[in-house]
Structure 1
Amino acid sequence: MQTSVHEIADGVYRLSTCLPDVAPGGFLMNQYLVDGAEPLLFHTGPRRMFPQVCEAVARVVPPQRLRWVSFGHVESDECGAMNEWLDAAPSSRVLFNLLGCRVSLDDLADRTPEPVEEGDVRDIGGHRVRAIPTPHVPHGWEAQVLFDETTRTLLCGDLFTRAGDAPALVHDDDLITPALAADDLFGATCLTATTAPTLRALADLQPRTLALMHGPAFAGDCAAALRDLADAYEARFLASVRTVAA
C-alpha cells in the first residue's frame, strides 16, 4: 500500500491510502494535513498505518512540528494512532469538542486534550479552523467536523463515504449515488430526525471543498451536495418510520 499526497486547497493536503480488501475495488483511508504555523492533522489513521502516514506528513512538514491532532469521532481509522502522534510531536495536543473530551478522550489520550466549545474558531497561523459538533452524523455521539474558514474546506469525515479508489480531487462529481451504495454495503450511517437538518446547516457554511475521509476531495457545488445528501437521508429515515408505523 502506498500513501499519496496531494494539495486539494491552499495549504490543505490529502494523504490517501487505498486498502485493497475492505470493499470491492478497495477502500480509501484519507487524512488531511492543514499546514499553518501550527500544523493540524485531521484523522490519524489506524495505529498500524502510523509509519506510512508519518512518512507522508514528512513530505509536507517535519512530523515533530505537528501542533494539533483532530478527527471526526472516536474510532480506530479516525484516531487509532492518536497517541503515536502525541509521542512523535512533543508539542501536539488533541483538539476536540467538549463532549468527546469528557466521554472518551480525557481518558484515552496520553496528553490532556484541548476542548473546544461550539462556535470557537482556532487560528493556527494561516488558517482559521472551527470545530462543529454533529452528534450521530454520520455516527457517534461525539461526532464533529472541522471547517477551515480560510479556504472554506469542510473536513467532513465519514460523510459521502464510498467504496473503491478515486482521484485526489474531483469536480462536480456525483457524490450521492456512491454514498448511498456504501450505506447499503456497510450500514454505517445513523439516520435520525436530526440527520438532515444537521447536513443542511453544514450546507449553509457554503464550503468550496469537501474533504472526504473515504473518497475523493470534491470541488464544486458543495452546498448542493450536502443538501442532496440531506434529502436522500431524510427520505430513507421517513420510509423507515412509515415501515415501523405500519
Structure 2
Amino acid sequence: MADSSTEARVTEVADGIYQLHTPVGTGKAGFSFNQYLLVDDAPLLFHTGSRRLFPSVRAAIARVMPVERLRYVAFSHCESDECGAMNELLDAAPQAVPVCGRIAAMVDADMFDRAPRALEEGEVLELGERRVRWLDAPHLPHGWECGYLFEESTATLLCGDLFTQPGADHPALTRDDILAPSEAMRRSMDYYAHGRDAPQLLEKLAATSPRMVACMHGRAYEGDGAALLRELARALARTA
C-alpha cells in the first residue's frame, strides 16, 4: 500500500470533476489509486483512499477547495482503498456523510462515525447544478454491496474496480484501449466474482451511455463508454 508521504496528482477530467491520482511502485509492480472529487454546492468525493493515503488525499482536495466543504463521501463497496479513510475524512469535514447503496448501509455502517446516506437503485442525489444516480451492481466485479454513481451532466460513470489497469505511470484520461490491459490483469489475478447477473448489470451500466468511464485504478476513459462496457461483457462471457 502507498506510503502516506506520496503526493497525489490532481487533474480536472471533466467540468468540475477532479481525479486525485496516486502512483505506487514502479515497473511491473506499479499500481495506482484514484479518487474523484465532484465540486458543486454540496461537493462529493468518490472513494477515500486507504488510511495511509489520507494525508495526500486531503492535501489534493485542498488544492481544489477547502476540505471542510465536503458534504458527501461515497464508495462502491467495502475495501480499504474505497472507504478506509472514511472516518478521517468525516473528522476533517464536519458536515459530510458517507454515501453508499442499501446493502452497504446495512452491513458496513458500524465502521463509520456517522450514519450513511443509503441510496436505492436508481435514486438521484442532488449536489447543486449536478446530479448523481446510484446503480446497484452486486458482485460486479466483487462485493455483495457493490454499486456505482453516474453523474448526469457530464455522463461520467464512476465505475470503481471495473477496468482496473496495472502500472503506476498513467495519464489521467485516454481515448486509447483500456480493456486489453485490464483484461490482462484480470486473467493474471482473477478478482471478479463472476456473478450470474454480470451480463445484465453491464448492460444496465451501458444503457447510461457514459462519455467518461472514471476508473479507480489507471486511466479514465473518454469515448463510447457503452461500447466499452458491452465489450467487457463479451470478454467475461468468453472466459466464464
* Runs of 4 or more consecutive aligned structure 1 residues displaced over 2 Å after TM superposition: none
Give the counterpart of 1:40 among 44, 51, 59: 44
For residues 169 and 12 of structure 1, the distance between their equivalents in structure 2, rounded to whole angstroms, comes to 12
1:187: how far off? 1.6
Q: Does 1:234 align with 2:237?
A: yes
Give the counterpart of 2:96 among 92, 97, 106: 92
For residues 193 and 99 of structure 1, the distance between their equivalents in structure 2, rounded to whole angstroms, comes to 18
Q: Does 1:169 align with 2:176?
A: no
For residues 90 and 2 of structure 1, the distance between their equivalents in structure 2, rounded to whole angstroms, comes to 24
For residues 129 and 162 of structure 2, the distance between their equivalents in structure 1, rounded to whole angstroms, comes to 26
Listed as ranges, the matches of 1:121-140 within 5 Å are 121-140=124-143
In structure 2, what is the equivalent of residue 13 of structure 1? Answer: 18
Listed as ranges, the matches of 1:26-65 within 5 Å are 26-65=30-69
What does the per-residue CA deviation read over 1:24-69, in whole Å, with 9 as the maximum and x for residues that have no partner? 1510100000001000000000001100000000011100110000
For residues 79 and 202 of structure 1, the distance between their equivalents in structure 2, rounded to whole angstroms, comes to 22
For residues 172 and 95 of structure 2, the distance between their equivalents in structure 1, rounded to whole angstroms, comes to 30
For residues 52 and 7 of structure 2, the distance between their equivalents in structure 1, rounded to whole angstroms, comes to 14
For residues 195 and 111 of structure 2, the distance between their equivalents in structure 1, rounded to whole angstroms, comes to 28
Unmatched 5+ residue regions in structure 1? 238-246
1:19 is aligned with what amino acid?
V
Q: Does 1:67 align with 2:71?
A: yes
In structure 1, what is the equivalent of residue 148 of structure 2? Answer: 145
2:224 is aligned with what amino acid?
D
Taking only aligned residues, the RMSD between alpha carbons, in angstroms, comes to 1.1
Q: Secondary structure at the match of 1:30?
A: strand
2:15 is aligned with what amino acid?
D
Q: Secondary structure at the match of 1:24?
A: helix
Contact 1:195 1:234 in 2 (8 A): no
Q: Does 1:206 align with 2:209?
A: yes
In structure 1, what is the equivalent of residue 80 of structure 2? Answer: 76
Unmatched 5+ residue regions in structure 2? 1-5
What does the per-residue CA deviation read over 1:177-232, in whole Å, with 9 as the maximum and x for residues that have no partner? 11111112322111122112211110111011010000111101111100000110
Identity of aligned residues (%): 48
Contact 1:145 1:157 in 2 (8 A): yes
TM-score normalised per structure 1:
0.93
Count matched residues: 234
In structure 2, what is the equivalent of residue 243 of structure 1? Answer: none
